[in-house]
């Protein structure tokens, strides 16, 4: 299994993809390596630009390198056509384990239920900003770091 | 192969969702027990709790913007026990608010408030400025020993701060929590239950949201699931607010200048709200849990009113045949 992952990583690098998050011999992910990797993955996903790629930003640590929340990337993906109301299997697991999301099977509503009203409003405002930057091809603005200058939301 | 891949994808999906939720939840109160029983018993003037006690009790009554100042006449008329209890509560609120507020940004956080109404935004800016001024005055002398190595809050130290004497239930629970090797240790959970009952009896004499919040935090972190009553053992930040809001229902101050709201403004930038409940509903409780948590609060208040909380920390009986 480990050998297969290493082969996969080497192949991915050869083909110009960020590959799997690199670790040292003990399995430790050095923070600076992790951040650099996440940034390169974020850039690759933004270059892809499809709704699925934006969802990828919501789901992986790549999204953490940007200023925008996971919820905002999800909302942007939904807006661009990802089928966010399609049933998702893991919501049933959450219902059984935590009693949450039992009345929904779609990812959009499930995420809304996990968010506070303030988080959701904020995510909606950030979604609008993401979509505006995407329309204008402003990848640099989308890659604004998480701890960047305030004021993005107006 | 396909099944393996499907299994791996499912596992990844669940892990991603769980990880995302944990990240989204932000700060989690995972208070590790620290120190020893000897250390707990050692009520010396050099302990961090005593140092904070000295620092905060000296400055707390002078801050008219956050807590109303008590006139000398009124203060003299108040029995000593109540005065001590009030001072202990002030120490608790100050330390709890300050501990997570060490990397304060004095600039108003405009983005997080951008979705508020203009009127609410104005109030938030105003409240934040006052709270920052209060923190600059009150949080400066916080001893670094109060923080665990990983920068998290030490629950026993908070309990010690809230105590008025070594026979105070806060102090006794602090000692117990320090003694425990694991927060979910089933061998000592009965002792925690007894100490919590004593603490609740003391808190119900004159309910305060900051003290009830502490009980909620203990219930969430100091036992296996359901070992300390309905919903206990869940590490979610949300449950302590069920207890804080129950205190509001029992007559505690939960207005715009109340200690827990000051804490929320300082730590979570939930500022400018007219009361604790509106802040919790807008910024603490996930929308999908709000109704359930409100129901939990209603049931808790009912039990506290009718039985004084007797049995509220009893383990929840599992339905037969579950195993």
Question: Per the domain annotation, does A9 fall within a domain?
Answer: no
Name the more confident of B94 and B13: B94
Number of Cβ atoms within 10 Å of the Cβ of A10: 12
Angle between helices B287-307 and A107-114 (to 10 degrees): 40
Question: Per the domain annotation, does A58 fall within a domain?
Answer: yes
The pLDDT > 70 percentage for chain A reads 89
Residues B276-308 pLDDT 10s: 999 999 999 999 889 989 999 999 999 999 999
Q: What is the domain range of residue A118?
A: 32-142
Name the more confident of A150 and A41: A41
Select from B207, B305, B290 the least CA-distant residue to B254. Answer: B207
Residues A52-111 pLDDT 10s: 999 999 988 888 889 999 999 999 999 999 999 988 888 888 888 777 778 887 999 999
Question: Per the domain annotation, does A98 fall within a domain?
Answer: yes
Mean pLDDT, residues B104-133: 86
CB-based contact (8 Å) between A125 and chain B?
yes
Per the CB < 8 A criterion, the answer to whether B313 and B232 are in contact is yes
CB-based contact (8 Å) between A118 and chain B?
yes
Residues B182-195 pLDDT 10s: 777 777 888 899 99
Per the CB < 8 A criterion, the answer to whether A108 and A74 are in contact is yes
Does residue B268 carry a pLDDT above 80? Answer: yes
Select from A43, A75, A44 the least CA-distant residue to A58. Answer: A75
Mean pLDDT, residues B67-94: 68
Name the more confident of B61 and B212: B212
Question: Per the domain annotation, does A150 fall within a domain?
Answer: no
Question: Per the domain annotation, does A12 fall within a domain?
Answer: no
Question: Per the domain annotation, does A22 fall within a domain?
Answer: no
Mean pLDDT, residues B3-16: 44
Per the CB < 8 A criterion, the answer to whether A145 and A118 are in contact is no
Contacts of A54 (CB under 8 A, 6+ apart): A45, A73, A74, A76, A77, A80, A82, A130
Burial of A126 (0-12, 13-18, 19+ CB in 10 A): buried
Nearest CA to CA, how far is A118 from chain B (Å)?
A: 5
Question: Per the domain annotation, does A46 fall within a domain?
Answer: yes
Cβ contact, residue pair A119, B270, below 8 Å:
no
Select from B251, B254, B258, B227 the least CA-distant residue to B301. Answer: B251
Q: What angle do CA B193, B198, B199 make, to 5 degrees?
A: 95
Does residue B138 carry a pLDDT above 80? Answer: no
Cβ contact, residue pair B20, A101, below 8 Å:
no
Nearest CA in chain B to A58: B20
Per the CB < 8 A criterion, the answer to whether B261 and B279 are in contact is yes
CB-based contact (8 Å) between B279 and chain A?
no
Question: Per the domain annotation, does A149 fall within a domain?
Answer: no
The per-residue pLDDT for B144 is: 63
Residues A117-144 pLDDT 10s: 999 999 999 999 999 999 999 999 999 8
What Å distances lie between residue B251 and B170, B178, B247, B315, CA to CA?
21, 32, 6, 28
List the 14-73 stretch of B: residues with Cβ below 8 A of A. 14, 16-17, 20-21, 23-24
Nearest CA in chain B to A116: B286
Does residue B56 carry a pLDDT above 70? Answer: no
The pLDDT > 90 percentage for chain A reads 41
What Å distances lie between residue B89 and B1, B21, B158, B160, B276, CA to CA?
61, 32, 10, 11, 17
Overall number of domains in chain A: 1
Q: How does residue B65 score in pLDDT terms, banded at 50, 70 and 90?
A: very low
CB-based contact (8 Å) between A26 and chain B?
no
The per-residue pLDDT for B14 is: 42
Q: How does residue B30 score in pLDDT terms, banded at 50, 70 and 90?
A: very low
The per-residue pLDDT for A130 is: 95
**How far is A47 from A69, CA to CA, in rounded Å?**
19
Q: What is the ipTM of this complex?
A: 0.80
Name the more confident of B293 and B13: B293
Name the more confident of B26 and A88: A88
List the 280-319 stretch of B: residues with Cβ below 8 A of A. 281-289, 292
Does residue A153 carry a pLDDT above 90? Answer: no
Nearest CA to CA, how far is A126 from chain B (Å)?
A: 10
CB-based contact (8 Å) between A121 and chain B?
yes
Q: How does residue B142 score in pLDDT terms, banded at 50, 70 and 90?
A: low
Which range among B128-142, B251-265, B302-316 shows the weakest confidence by mean pLDDT? B128-142
């Amino acid at each position: 299994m480990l050998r297969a992952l290493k082969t996969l990583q080497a192949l991915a690098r050869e083909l110009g993809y960020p590959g799997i998050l690199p670790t040292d011999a003990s399995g430790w992910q050095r923070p600076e390596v992790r951040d650099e990797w996440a940034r390169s993955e974020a850039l690759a996903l933004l270059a892809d630009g499809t709704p699925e790629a934006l969802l990828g930003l919501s789901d992986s640590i790549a999204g953490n390198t940007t200023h925008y929340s996971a919820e905002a990337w999800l909302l942007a993906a939904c807006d661009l056509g990802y089928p966010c109301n399609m049933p998702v299997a893991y919501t049933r697991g959450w219902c059984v384990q935590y009693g949450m999301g039992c009345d929904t099977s779609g990812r959009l509503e499930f995420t809304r239920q996990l968010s506070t009203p303030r988080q959701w409003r904020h995510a909606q405002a950030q979604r609008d900003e993401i979509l505006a930057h995407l329309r204008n091809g402003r990848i640099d603005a989308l890659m604004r770091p998480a701890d960047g200058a305030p004021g993005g939301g107006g | 192969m396909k099944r393996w891949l499907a299994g791996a994808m499912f596992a990844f999906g669940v892990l991603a969702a769980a990880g995302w939720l944990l990240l989204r939840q932000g700060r989690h109160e995972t208070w590790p027990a620290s120190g020893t029983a000897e250390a707990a018993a050692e009520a010396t003037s050099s302990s961090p709790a005593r140092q904070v006690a000295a620092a905060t009790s000296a400055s707390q009554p002078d801050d008219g913007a956050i807590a109303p100042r008590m006139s000398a006449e009124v203060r003299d008329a108040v029995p000593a026990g109540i005065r001590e209890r009030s001072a202990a509560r002030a120490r608790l609120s100050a330390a709890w608010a300050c501990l997570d507020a060490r990397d304060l940004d004095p600039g108003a956080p405009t983005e997080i408030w951008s979705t508020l109404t203009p009127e609410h935004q104005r109030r938030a800016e105003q409240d934040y400025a006052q709270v920052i001024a209060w923190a600059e005055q009150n949080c400066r002398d916080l001893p670094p020993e109060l923080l665990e190595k990983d920068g998290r809050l030490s629950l026993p130290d908070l309990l010690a701060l809230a105590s008025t004497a070594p026979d105070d239930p806060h102090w006794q629970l602090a000692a117990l929590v320090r003694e425990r090797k694991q927060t979910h240790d089933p061998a000592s959970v009965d002792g925690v239950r007894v100490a919590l009952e004593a603490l609740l009896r003391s808190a119900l004499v004159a309910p305060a949201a900051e003290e009830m919040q502490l009980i909620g935090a203990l219930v969430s972190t100091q036992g296996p699931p359901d070992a300390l009553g309905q919903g206990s053992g869940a590490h979610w930040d949300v449950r302590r607010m069920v207890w804080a809001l129950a205190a509001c229902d029992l007559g505690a101050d939960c207005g715009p200048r109340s200690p827990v709201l000051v804490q929320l403004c300082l730590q979570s930038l939930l500022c400018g709200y007219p009361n604790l409940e509106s802040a919790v509903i807008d910024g603490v409780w996930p929308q999908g849990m709000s109704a359930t948590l409100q129901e939990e609060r209603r049931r808790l208040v009912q039990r506290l009113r009718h039985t004084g909380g007797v049995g509220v920390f009893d383990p929840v009986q599992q339905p037969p045949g579950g195993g």
